[in-house]
Amino acid sequence: MSTADHTPSEPKKLALVTGASRGLGSALAEALAAAGWHVMAVARTVGALEELDDRIQAAGGSATLAPLDVTDADQMKHLASSIAARWGGVQLWAHCAVHAAPLTPAAHIDPKDMTKSIATNLAATATLLPLIEPLLRAGDGTALFFDDPCGGEKFFGAYGATKAAQMALVRSWQAENAKIGPRVLIDTPAPMPTATRARFFPGEDRAALTDCRIEAARIVAGL
C-alpha cells in the first residue's frame, strides 16, 4: 500500500486525506502534518505523493503514502483494512478527491466524462462511507468534506450535478450520525488557484484567489 512510510516513534493522531496529491488536499496534508498529525496520504500519482512526503519531512512531519485509486473498491477495502490492522482507527478523514469534467452545455456532455464524474465524485464517496465510518468511530474521529455549490450553473452539468449529489449523500450521513457520531463537517473553501479551478476558468486572474495553504491553515485551526 505504501511507497514511503515515516511513522513517528510515538503515537500521533492519524489523518486520512483522500485526494492528497495536489491543490487543497496537498496543502491540507502539509498543514495537518505541521500541526502534529500523522498523515495517511491517498492519491493515484506516485510522484506527487513523494513530493508531498518530501515537504512534510522537511517541515518535521510524518506521513504514510498510499498510491491508490479511490474509484477502485477493492483498493479502498484494502486501505481500510490496513488502517484498522495498524492503527485501529482514524481521528480525521478529509475527502478531497474530485474529478473536474470540462465545462460544456448539458446536452453535449461526453458520456465518458459523466461516467468518470459519477465514479469519482459520487460512487467513490458511497464506497468509502461504510469503510471509513467504523474507523472514525473507533478513533472518535471527524469526517471533513468540501462543498462547491455550482450545481445548476451554466456549463457545470457533469461536475455540478455529481458534486451536488455527493453533498446530498454526505448531508444525509451527517444527519444520521448527529447523535451517535462520527462528527461530519462540510466546509466551503474560498476560491483557490487549483488545477481544478484553472480548468473551469482558464483566463482568470489567479492573483486574486486565496492560496491553498491559507485555506488549509484556516481549516486545520477550526478542527
For residue 43, list its beta bridge partners.
67
8 A C-beta contact, residue 79 and residue 66: yes
CA 68 to each of CA 7, 23, 47, 80, 166: distance values in angstroms, whole numbers, following the listed order:
19, 17, 13, 12, 20
Both ends of the chain: CA-CA distance in Å?
28
Residue 123 amino acid letter: A
How much is the pLDDT for 3? Answer: 44
Q: Which three cell numbers stand for residue 213?
A: 495553504
Q: What is the mean pLDDT of each run of 10 residues along the chain (223 residues)?
A: 51 92 96 98 97 97 98 98 97 96 96 97 98 98 96 95 98 97 97 88 90 97 94
| Cα–Cα dist 184/141, whole Å | 9
DSSP 8-state symbol, 70: T
Cell 478542527, located at residue: 223
Question: Which is nearest to 92 in space by CA: 45, 5, 29?
Answer: 29
How much is the pLDDT for 192? Answer: 94
How much is the pLDDT for 12? Answer: 84
Residue 108 has a CB neighbour count (10 Å cut-off) of 8
How much is the pLDDT for 1? Answer: 54
Task: Give buried/exposed letters for 12-34 (b at 16+ CB in 10 A, else e).
Answer: bbbbbbbbbbbbbbbbbbbbbbb
